[in-house]
Amino acid sequence: MSRSTISKYITNFPFPTLREKQAFVLKEIDDAFASGYKYIVLEAPTGFGKSPVAIAAALTLGSSYICTSTKDLQTQYCRDFAFVKPAKGKNNFTCEVKDDFIRNGTYKCAACGPYVSRKGGECHHTTVEHGPCMSDKDFGCEYKTRLKDYIEIIFLDDK
């Protein structure tokens, strides 16, 4: 990464104003990459503005991962920066097709079993983990990601 990319970091800063300390950190990030570092860990106090600094770095670098310590912070990134996509486990997402089955009366929760169906009880298994595609391997869920949806690319370095 060349020294001239600092302007790209600032250009990619997602807010109209950049604080002095944020500019300093972006310069440090630029210097670290220019020195050969591949990974950056930013530790700064609450209210510093780490999220926009991380977004500026990610946009400058192209493909990036921003690791957070909580799911709430992931949600905040997604809310504040619409192009950010979360990487959470399936238990954090509601099943997209289950509501359709509940509305038309055909849903049978594998975890609750016949009790919910017979007694009209309420099923609290709303996450993807309990969706119909998890209990019926032949269920054609349009939202489920399958192995065939991916392409494998193997890069072997000649050196």
* Domain boundary assignment for the chain: 3-87, 91-149
Instruction: Tell me the residue type at 39.
Output: Y
Which whole-number Å values give the CA distances from 18 to 11, 12, 83, 157, in the listed order?
10, 11, 20, 40
Separation CA 33–CA 23 (nearest Å) = 16
pLDDT (tens digit, 9 = 90+) per residue, 16-61?
999 999 999 999 998 888 889 888 888 888 899 999 999 999 999 8
End-to-end Cα separation, the chain, in angstroms? 21
Q: Which band of pLDDT confidence, cut at 50, 70 and 90, is reported for residue 1?
A: very low
In the chain, at which residue ranges do the beta strands (DSSP E only) sit? Answer: none
Whole-structure pTM value: 0.58
Average pLDDT over residues 136-143: 72
Q: According to the model, what pLDDT value does residue 3 have?
A: 45
pLDDT (tens digit, 9 = 90+) per residue, 87-137?
777 677 667 676 667 677 766 666 676 555 445 556 666 666 767 777 677
At 56, list the tokens.
């500026």
